[in-house]
Structure 1
Amino acid sequence: MDGFDQLPDSLILLIFNAISDVKTLIRCRSVSKRFNILVPETESLSLKVDQVISPDSDSDSLVLTFFKSFLKSLQDFLTTTTETKSHHPTRTRVLNSPAQILSQFDRVKHLQLELPGGDLKLGNGLTVKWSAQFGRSLKSCVIIGFKSDKSTVSENPGDVEDIGGGLKSRVMWTISALIAASARHFMLEEIVRGHHDLESLVLLDREGEGNVVMDKEGMRECRLEAAHVSENRTLVPSVRMRMRHVPRLVLECGVWVEGATLVVVRPSIEKDDVDDAELALGAFGHGIYRETVQRLLKTRSYMLEMNSF
């Protein structure tokens, strides 16, 4: 008897959940009839998008207006052979979006998607990271930006003030982050509506620039009522932006942080049930980001308001 035949289905599914990688799991379906039946029951999945294609999108757009994503490495597994194509023309269509690929799985509860790159291309050594929570629409977004130097800090305070381009530029990259988040949320909506067992959903990028998080309650809201959309992205509601800025910081690890900025964004119509510290530390609670956030939270904040866009 084959050793795998002695393993109970529950143990095999436990192994599949630990593997989680969609590419590997699809390969497992070709191992045996039993594996082919069990793989779609995997509850924890990780889907890495190797290439993003956005036909008919504006190349001058700040972010990709729509993610028509597909896994190039999965083509050999998702399409039929040339011999089969001649007999089954309806199978020649490539499953080219995450929602279509994930339709092969029936009981997904925990899902992480990874895009090949971020959307903001700021340059000048400036680091900007963001983390957004969504339901039907934006619930909150935390953005941190700074320029770090492990050696010495500028002797000219004026140079520090200009890092990131001043208040106007900081507002612009805050808007850019919100547009990027809303475009990613738009892509997730089809996945959320197709998988009613989902309890947690995270969409991030390989560069670690930004992530969109949806919890069980947020996905329930999304299924009940469709979000308002604008140009292939979810409409960002009217928001309040609480901004904190410090010209320079020296962290305990010896890293100089210049032009550090923390922005906490919330919809204008919602109450602040969670304070800024909890949101910011929950989004950036590790490494130099944690210490930078902790220091910024102790500084004076400035409130800005922005209409829906």
Structure 2
Amino acid sequence: MNHRFYIIDDDKGVRRVLKNIIIQYDLGIVIGEADNGKDAIKDIQALDPHIVLVDLLLPGLDGISIVTEIKKMKCAVNFIMISQVTSKEMISKAYTMGIEFFINKPINVVEVISIINKVKEKLNMHEVISSFEQAFHNMSMLKDYKSNIKIPTVSERDRIKKVLSQLGILGEAGSNDLVELLLLILKQEDTEKNGLLNRKLSELYKMLNKRYQNDHKTSCNIGAIEQRIRRAINKALKNIANMGIEDYGNEFFIRYSNTLFDFKEVRKQMDFARGKSNYGGKISIKKFIEGIIVELKNVF
């Protein structure tokens, strides 16, 4: 299991050190960071990290207040507190509020690795227990299953269209190109699929154009295909940003803002839509395509 980390500290140097330790020692992936509690709480709700490393003393909301707020939201997050504070009373309060462990500053690499591994062991144990519980539940459900009930199958084309519909771009001109391109990739074996995803986008567009020629006897300009796809994904970014503005807890915003886009770019687009910035977010066509493939594999 690749554990997701979020770091909260008003010292950029500390955040950088912690991030480097997590990456260098292959402890997981860092999906976000913040220098204040307000932004952190919003991000944690949207990104759903497994482990949060949070400084005790922060401007505005302190670390204990952040932990308290997140716990109220019933988010399944494990907290590791970081601080120079040696007060037994404050440390005791932090543990009472729900932190798992406490790391003292200045940062010690060995201590950070040891504590993170302890939290990961706890998470892995919970996962094993949950899998056993789910297995027993499934066995119980199986007894009541009626063999004459037929479960309708859903085609990959319809599954892709469902995602594009949730993003609000099914009617865009580039949506059909995205559907056909994704089907082209999904029909390959896993090894060939990975090879396709590692190719340049221009090569994928050429393959898609060749498919149009063979299957539909039509030919498209490669540049036109690229522009249609780019416009459709840009529209999806705008729609996701608007979902987040209207409701930060929106199901599709939470699901897609970090899997199909870079979350930092989504936030830029949100600021642009609010009139707080002159520049909107940027898209990565490769990340969008890879994200939908992962989404189809994991969700449906």
Normalised to the residue count of structure 1, the TM-score between the two structures is: 0.23
Which has a greater percent of helix? 2
Which has a greater percent of strand? 1
Report 1 or 2 for greater relative contact order, CA contacts < 8 Å, sequence distance ≥ 6.
1
Normalised to the residue count of structure 2, the TM-score between the two structures is: 0.23
